[in-house]
Structure 1
Amino acid sequence: MPDIESTNDRQKPRSNAWQSAVTVVQEAEPPVIPAGAHVTTIVVEFPPGDPGTPPHRHPGPAFGYVLDGEMVFELEGQPARIVRAGEAFWEPGGDVIHYQDGNNRDDVPVRFTVTMFCEPGKPMLTLVDEEELVRRKSRRAPRTS
């Protein structure tokens, strides 16, 4: 039988960096995840000044992180806010309308990643038509601009 050498015999001493390597950027208590859900992670990139995806909704919760640039983020019932590179966002999904996810800057692209809990057999994103937007306009937070 051949001699077996432990890989630890050749490794450098372990670093303690792992003890301070994690930074919590977001904690949330999302609503129920759809039964049988699968998870999809995407990267979205909008060019400078792009308004982003039209008003839409997701079947389950979505968790995101801005990698570069600045995103205008607006959910039904909440005022629009700017999410900058290094900041996180989330939305509950379900019946909530996601009004804005566009680029807040006209000089640089915005790039963000989103992990969504998707309901089997349903698209990860459904656009909201104008009729529904009019019907639900009282649920949208007042806009400052």
Structure 2
Amino acid sequence: MSTDHNHHLDNPDKSGPPPKLDVVATVPGAPPAPAGAEAMTILVTLPPNSPGAPPHRHSGPAFGYVIKGAIDFELEGDPVRVVRAGEAFWEPGGDVIHYQDGNHFADEESAFVVTMFCAPGQPMLTVVEPEELEARRDRRAPRA
């Protein structure tokens, strides 16, 4: 498969300029969706200073795009990073804990769109209990 994701879409049946396509992110070797997965796209709007969801996991991979503001994004084993409007993120799902997805700003709203591939019969998000967080504390990246 080619890694060239440039596209030119002339449409001889229409007048005006063709659409512009920009690849925002790619995930080489991304994990497959669970067998029989349900794809779900949601819009998450974070009020100013919102911490986002508590530590959780997803049953399958998730791919997202920040449309407004910025979010603090942290997966198990990775340091916290700020994902800003116009940038994408992904997570493999499964056993990986998603520690945070909160609003980076205390004084403005942030929002992102995320598509998740959920295993059949599983919720889109499962909160991780405090006991498990403590047991896996060594898997979390050092915090500044």
TM-score category, normalised to shorter length: 0.7 to 0.9
Distance 1:110 1:104 in 2: 8
- Structure 1 residue 12: Cα displacement: 7.8
Aligned residues: 132
How far off its partner does 1:46 sit? 1.0
In the alignment, what sits opposite 1:14?
A: 15
1:75 aligns with 2:75: yes
CA shift, 1:42, in A, is: 0.1
Structure 1 residue 15 displacement after superposition: 3.2
Secondary structure of 1:33's counterpart equals: coil
Match of 1:24 in 2: 23
User: Could you say if the C-alpha distance between residues 129 and 26 of structure 1 is closer, same or farther in structure 2, counting changes exceeding 3 Å?
Assistant: same
Q: 127-136 or 22-31, which moves further after superposition?
A: 22-31
TM-superposition CA deviations, 1:84-140 (whole Å, max 9, x none): 000000000000000000001011011000000011100010000000000000000
Larger Rg over CA atoms: 1
Letter in 2 for 1:27: T
In the alignment, the residues of structure 1 paired with residue 83 and residue 124 of structure 2 have an alpha-carbon distance, to the nearest angstrom, of 22
Q: CA deviation at 1:82?
A: 0.2
* Equivalent position SS for 1:101: strand
Matched residue type, 1:77 = G
> Which SS does the other structure have where 2:41 is aligned?
strand
Shift of 1:70: 0.7
Q: Which residue of the partner structure matches residue 105 of structure 2?
A: 105
Root-mean-square deviation (CA), in Å?
1.4
> Could you list the per-position Cα deviations for residues 30-64 of structure 1 after superposition, in whole angstroms to 9, with x for gaps in the alignment?
11210001100000011101111000000000000
Amino acid at match of 2:84: R
- The gaps in structure 1 that reach 5 residues or longer are 1-10
In structure 1, the residue matched to 2:52 is: 52
> For structure 2, which runs of at least 5 residues remain unmatched after alignment?
1-11
Q: Distance in 1 between matches of 2:50 and 2:37?
A: 31
Question: What is the percentage of aligned positions where both structures have the same residue?
Answer: 59
TM-score of the two chains, using structure 2 as the length reference: 0.88
Offset at residue 17 of structure 1 (A)? 2.3
Following TM superposition, where does structure 1 have runs of at least 4 consecutive aligned residues deviating by more than 2 angstroms? 11-18
Say if 1:124 and 1:17 are closer, same or farther in 2 by CA, change over 3 A.
Answer: same
